[in-house]
Chains A and B, each alone.
Chain A
């Protein structure tokens, strides 16, 4: 029986020098690299395929398969771009990982580049996290100095350069094609797919784009084997992942566990909902995943079963809200976020997010009408599936889930001519004696 929590990427985070080369090496760091460099590149790809590793950035695409799409012997340069643009509301796993253990990503990058035959990798990290960027810059510099990067790595004849590339504030750049456009020095607009990045990615060359946690999971797969990884998790969702709990829980935080853990188990570890309150709704994978409620406490958190429950695993960003929270207020704020972050390229997302915000605002302020509700559902239907990229598909998610689970509450806003909730009751300091106001 596997233990409830399985710290792997997070196992050294409590060590004072985990982010330094020597700290990482003390725990066996960079040993997977030597093992991988002694393998054929195709065997590295096969190992990751057999492990069943799937993208940890939300989409869950099989990683080894993505790598095998890179055409070999095509005479073009190949690129790896790590998506460290973590900006999904609720997502907060990659940033602590990179602050505490950046070398595990660098080792994963070197192994991945060896496998896909790339000599240039980029870490596209969101710009708004200065200290995480410092740690990453230091780790890359240390890796060069130790000969893990640069020319003829470990005498293998394999060369690799890594560039840490901070973004400049744009959620859309977490979308893989927008990320590539941005990395080329342009406004971060998404591109048509196909061609997929594996065929025409960065500089129109074959490119793998993977999330931080995906690539960081590679060294341990090489060290311990595909079977070891595949034995963790559930039938089709193999391995481990970091689950982030935030909001109205007694002790928010990061929990690394096999895929398939439930919210009930995680809440138990986080001390439950904050004292005196009860669970109202939660998102399993950030604001782009539909709300779930206390009916879903025992849903195994893997790609398939969260999907079957009507939501998606996404980035395992569990945002928890108790009964003091107005579901409309939450949905409005997320919709405002999407409106702000819409790149403007396609009409359904650009215009749809604008009109949704106006209608939700009226509902929240108690000035909404039944026509507003109908309009919201109509506009939502015209965004979903019709937008240029996945950001657009996310726009209607918060408000349609609020309508699905809390229609009565929305009608109550209309009846009372305003929001029936007291925002002060939701704050972190609401229940503490002598709370600062």
Chain B
């Protein structure tokens, strides 16, 4: 099913803005894929065709790029993609247990999902997947929801997080805005269209501030010239 006229016109206007950022149009492909993902929740066939049309390249070329990058989904994503970091530090600090717990908790059928596979809750609201190191190792174990940080998780806190997401109880990222956006909304921010939430949330988390705090307590500072 192709995009209807109204959707097409809207996406066309967004695409023109994206392409306009770059000296060469082809550079717009990654943000365009985020854009179509914000429409359908994944890189749909319509989305592929749309990108190819905007950039004047083949659908095969677009698909070749879309399949290279792990953030692009090839089947509809859940409203909330819950990514458990299972790279080494997080895994060892408990990420492995959090992940296997959540897979069971959302109702996985018991088989160990492969890399890049996710496990969806029966209501389709939440999908649990493994993610690689997300640059928050000082907050291990870390869980990401729609690419927002949920720091210092335990199996219990992660189960509650998933339950809250499923029941519609508001959850707040540890270092992020007060309102957690949906997968589609997050994709739109990635395409370069702000959601007005940048000024929400803390400047930095406690682990980020540890060195600064100690320096201030001890009167340490950078030397003056």
Knowing A7-B215, A13-B208, A424-B97, the reply to whether A128 touches B134 (Cβ < 8 A) is yes
Within the assembled complex, what's the spacing in Å between the Cα atoms of A247 and B207? 12
Knowing A225-B225, A247-B89, the reply to whether A436 touches B34 (Cβ < 8 A) is no
Does A227 contact B30, Cβ atoms closer than 8 Å?
A: no
Interface residue B8 (Cβ < 8 Å from any Cβ of A): no
Q: Which of A1-18 contact B (CB under 8 A)?
A: 2-8, 10-11, 13-18
Interface residue A428 (Cβ < 8 Å from any Cβ of B): yes
Interface residue A264 (Cβ < 8 Å from any Cβ of B): no
Does B138 contact A131, Cβ atoms closer than 8 Å?
A: no
Knowing A130-B148, A329-B92, the reply to whether A186 touches B138 (Cβ < 8 A) is no
Query: B200-225, CB under 8 A of A: which get 1 and which 0?
Result: 01011111111111111011111111
Interface residue A88 (Cβ < 8 Å from any Cβ of B): yes
Kindly report which residue of chain A lies nearest to residue B64, judged by CB atoms: A187
- CB neighbours (8 Å) of A11 from chain B are 212, 221-222
- CB neighbours (8 Å) of A20 from chain B are 199
Of the candidate stretches B104-112, B119-127, B162-170, B185-193, the one touching chain A is B185-193
Kindly report which residue of chain B lies nearest to residue A398, judged by CB atoms: B88
Knowing A165-B31, A166-B34, A224-B225, the reply to whether A428 touches B152 (Cβ < 8 A) is yes
Kindly report which residue of chain A lies nearest to residue B25, judged by CB atoms: A185
- CB neighbours (8 Å) of B29 from chain A are 185-186
- CB neighbours (8 Å) of B148 from chain A are 130-131
A74 CB to nearest chain B CB (Å): 16
Within the assembled complex, what's the spacing in Å between the Cα atoms of A273 and B216? 23
Which of A99, A246, A436 contacts B203 (CB under 8 A)? A99
Kindly report which residue of chain B lies nearest to residue A271, judged by CB atoms: B210
- CB neighbours (8 Å) of A203 from chain B are 23-24
Which of A14, A126, A130, A269 contacts B204 (CB under 8 A)? A14
Q: How many B residues are at the interface, by size bracket?
A: 35 or more
Please give 14 more A-B residue pairs, beta carbons under 8 A apart, in addition to A17-B203, A244-B137: A86-B135, A100-B204, A127-B190, A137-B198, A138-B198, A165-B31, A166-B192, A167-B69, A253-B211, A319-B89, A319-B137, A427-B92, A428-B141, A437-B155
Which of A4, A86, A168, A325 contacts B92 (CB under 8 A)? A325
- CB neighbours (8 Å) of B86 from chain A are 333
Interface residue B133 (Cβ < 8 Å from any Cβ of A): yes
Which of A17, A88, A184 contacts B133 (CB under 8 A)? A88
Of the candidate stretches A29-37, A39-47, A89-97, the one touching chain B is A89-97
Interface residue B195 (Cβ < 8 Å from any Cβ of A): yes
Q: Which of A413-437 contact B (CB under 8 A)?
A: 423-424, 426-429, 436-437
Knowing A6-B221, A19-B203, A225-B225, the reply to whether A89 touches B212 (Cβ < 8 A) is no
Does B88 contact A245, Cβ atoms closer than 8 Å?
A: no
Does B97 contact A168, Cβ atoms closer than 8 Å?
A: no
Kindly report which residue of chain B lies nearest to residue A257, judged by CB atoms: B211
Does B138 contact A254, Cβ atoms closer than 8 Å?
A: yes
Does B92 contact A426, Cβ atoms closer than 8 Å?
A: yes
Does A131 contact B203, Cβ atoms closer than 8 Å?
A: no
Interface residue A68 (Cβ < 8 Å from any Cβ of B): no
- CB neighbours (8 Å) of B201 from chain A are 131
- A sample of 16 cross-chain residue pairs with beta-carbon separation below 8 angstroms, ordered by A number, consists of A11-B221, A13-B203, A77-B23, A127-B34, A131-B176, A134-B198, A166-B30, A166-B34, A171-B132, A185-B29, A227-B225, A247-B93, A252-B140, A321-B92, A333-B91, A428-B154
Does A3 contact B87, Cβ atoms closer than 8 Å?
A: no
- CB neighbours (8 Å) of A59 from chain B are none
Knowing A14-B212, A137-B198, the reply to whether A184 touches B135 (Cβ < 8 A) is no
Interface residue B149 (Cβ < 8 Å from any Cβ of A): yes
A122 CB to nearest chain B CB (Å): 8
Which of B27, B88, B94, B214 contacts A319 (CB under 8 A)? B88
Kindly report which residue of chain A lies nearest to residue B214, judged by CB atoms: A269
- CB neighbours (8 Å) of B96 from chain A are 423
Does A426 contact B93, Cβ atoms closer than 8 Å?
A: yes
- CB neighbours (8 Å) of A183 from chain B are 27
Which of A17, A87, A120, A184 contacts B132 (CB under 8 A)? A87
Interface residue A146 (Cβ < 8 Å from any Cβ of B): no
Does A428 contact B93, Cβ atoms closer than 8 Å?
A: yes
Does B30 contact A170, Cβ atoms closer than 8 Å?
A: no
Does A7 contact B221, Cβ atoms closer than 8 Å?
A: yes
Within the assembled complex, what's the spacing in Å between the Cα atoms of A301 and B216? 23
Query: A207-240, CB under 8 A of B: which get 1 and which 0?
Result: 0000000000000000011011001100000001
B56 CB to nearest chain A CB (Å): 12
B153 CB to nearest chain A CB (Å): 9
Question: What are the 4 tightest A-B residue pairs by CB atom distance, in nearest-first order?
Answer: A253-B210, A255-B211, A168-B69, A246-B137
Does A170 contact B70, Cβ atoms closer than 8 Å?
A: yes
Within the assembled complex, what's the spacing in Å between the Cα atoms of A31 and B224? 16
Q: Which of B1-52 contact A (CB under 8 A)?
A: 21-24, 26-31, 33-34
Within the assembled complex, what's the spacing in Å between the Cα atoms of A333 and B86? 8
